Amino acid sequence: MLKHRGFPGRLPGTDYQFTVRRANPKGVTPLIARERYRDRKPADRRADSEFLRAIWQCFGDRPFERGNLDAGRLSWLFGREIKPAEDPFDPESYEALLVLDLDVARASFPDVFDGEAR
């Protein structure tokens, strides 16, 4: 499992995890597209926004390996802002390649991209 050095481990001041320390010995947690409802807590929305900001700063619009990125946090964005970068895609692989869909990400999280030109 690739460890993304320099990627924040969690949202500061919360228990929202962005990365995992080690591979799951029971098997890889699959990525699924989770539905985001309008009544989510502000802290949940902030965690999504900051996680997306970290993805943008670390990888930009280039494909990146899932590695030690938290499956739960990725799943809130998977299928919309973060998409598979390979076909066939294995949602249960730490080596799976993902890519940021900039058009969708900018529409969903404009605050992440305000004033940033990459």
Distance in angstroms (rounded) separating the CA atoms of residues 53 and 112:
6
- Listed in sequence order, the DSSP H helices in 39-101 are 42-59, 71-75
pLDDT at 88: 93
Tokens of 5: 């050095």
- Listed in sequence order, the DSSP H helices in the chain are 42-59, 71-75, 102-108, 110-113
Distance in angstroms (rounded) separating the CA atoms of residues 114 and 116:
6
Q: What is the pLDDT of residues 54-107, one digit of tens each?
A: 999 999 999 999 999 999 999 999 999 999 999 999 999 999 999 999 999 999
Distance in angstroms (rounded) separating the CA atoms of residues 12 and 16:
8
